Amino acid sequence: MKTRGLITHFVYKFKQKRAQIIFIYTNIMARGFIDCHCHLSADEFTQDIDDVLLRAKRAGVKALVAVTEGASEFEKVILLSKTYPGFVFPCFGIHPLQGSGQDLHSVRIQDLEPFLPLFQKYRADIVAVGEIGLDFTPWFAKTTQERDEQIKVFIKQLEISKELDLPVNVHSRSAAKVTIDTMKELGIRQALLHNFAGKPSVAMEGVQAGFCFSFPPAVSKTEQRAKLIRQIPLEHICLETDSPALGIDKHK
């Protein structure tokens, strides 16, 4: 199955030097859930991350794929993976939107370039390159130049994933078609498109390319997204929380 293949890659990359890889993966798939996209390094978890992870374990979560949005989070997810080995699996990636609040802006190549050596430094620890991708939301990417710069950063990180033989964990808001086309053009074979909201026809192009799609609890409230999910083959669907952002109740 495609979904199992992608998750196997996540787990394998983190455990490839350990003899218990097959045992760990089999038990994860047989006895619980995998959160394929969460933000454990987010500021919201600064005070209670240990409690959050304990509650996740008690709820039946067996593994979490922890993505980053900026380079300031890289060391945080590595530390979490060392503190919770076999439970937290780290990814490195530069999100298409950088900064926060009034300083939020479309990513630029200079947001990525100083941190490229970290991908090589931690290549044995990370299980995917993410969160990367495109966000063409009009009020964030207002100009063609900004969108082109996003594509440049995205392509660079896709190339890194190929060099390191890693899957990609991908953001595609308001840019689903361009995101999938770009990955296909670069020969990407293992990709997870998180919280996908593109057209069903575009999703099918991703399915044909072998990509997987993950959805958070918040989408259960929208019939349009439910229709999209029903059209994607089950073997191409993964689960995510996108925590702390997209739970059923954002205030919990």
| Residues contributing to the annotated binding site | 37, 39, 131, 171, 194, 242
Residue with tokens 């710069």: 149
Dihedral of CA 19/23/29/33: which sign?
Answer: negative
Q: Round to whole Å and give the CA distance between 214 and 240.
A: 6
Nearest to 7 by CA among 68, 74, 92, 64: 64
DSSP string, 62-76: EEEEE--SSGGGHHH
Tokens describing residue 50: 């240990």
- For residue 69, which amino acid is it? E
Q: Which residues are annotated as a binding site for a divalent metal cation?
A: 37, 39, 131, 171, 194, 242
Residue 62 CA from chain centroid, whole number: 17
Phi first, then psi: give them for residue 156, nearest 5 degrees: -60, -40
Pairing of strands 212-215, 128-133: unpaired
The number of residues in the chain equals 252
